[in-house]
Amino acid sequence: RWFTHFYVVSVLWNGFLLIWLFRAEFLGDSFPSWIQHMHHALGRDSQSENVGNEHFSALLVLLLLWLHSCRRLAECLWTSVFSNGVIHVVQYCFGLGYYIAVGSTVLCQVPTNVSNGKELSVQIYWYHMIGVTMYIWASLHQHRCLAILANLRKSRSGKVVSLSHSIPFGDWFESVSCPHYFAELLIYVSMAITLGIHNVTWWCVVMYVLFNQALASILCHEFYLKNFSSYPKHRKAFIPLVF
């Protein structure tokens, strides 16, 4: 349940960055000096030949990241039913830092000169449409799967009756043990597509999410197999039909 804190931080921090990027994109404002210093420290060039497109792509991804954090926060507060498990203090601190770093990573994909006081033209490209469509699709499935997990601990009236683990069925659970982790990976892939596919830095973020979610899925899958003799043998741990 302390994962809730991660999403509170993400909503506030990434919402703050989103406002600044929006102001830069549509109002022609310049970034504050501390953001420009951060760009310089990370080695980001201040000039670009395709400023408008880079800023709109980053703005769109930062918006998607913020919406994702808002949805996950709402699910933590009103959908999920948490057990009495605990989180290690190192993992907790890392999680807080991660959601600050990931938004900053998006912002640092664009030059700091923005439009030098002029409003930027916005063009929607094919990868924006594909990325946003994939994001919505993966987000809907992740919510459904989290609702399925929560309902295992609730009565038909919606009252929590148990904190024990049960075998989930329905939606992507028919193919994998942890479809909500698989959906998380797809959400980050969709953001990589929205950034224009070629952004190496964000693909590094995707690789981190891949290994992180894969490890969690393996541990969860092994738990199911160990504790439930009737657990469906055809289910994979993380990626349908593959892994």
Which SS3 state, helix, strand or coil, does residue 154 take? strand
Percentage of residues of the chain with pLDDT beyond 90:
70
C-alpha distances (whole Å) from 1 to each of 78, 80, 135, 154, 197 are 11, 9, 25, 17, 34
* Nearest residue to 139 (alpha-carbon basis) of 228, 63, 36, 217: 63
Distance CA 191, CA 136 (A): 11
Whether 155 contacts 84, CB under 8 Å: no
Residue 227's CB is within 10 A of a number of other CB atoms, namely 10
> What are the sequence ranges of the domains in the chain?
1-123, 124-242
pLDDT tens per residue across span 24-53? 777 777 777 877 777 777 665 544 445 556
Q: Tokens 């990626």 label which residue? A: 239
As a whole number, mean pLDDT of residues 203-210 equals 97
Q: Which residue has the higher pLDDT, 14 or 84?
A: 14
Average pLDDT score, the chain = 89
pLDDT tens per residue across span 42-88? 665 544 445 556 778 999 999 999 999 999 999 999 999 998 888 99
DSSP states of 108-139 as a string? TTS-TTTTTTSPPP----HHHHHHHHHHHHHH
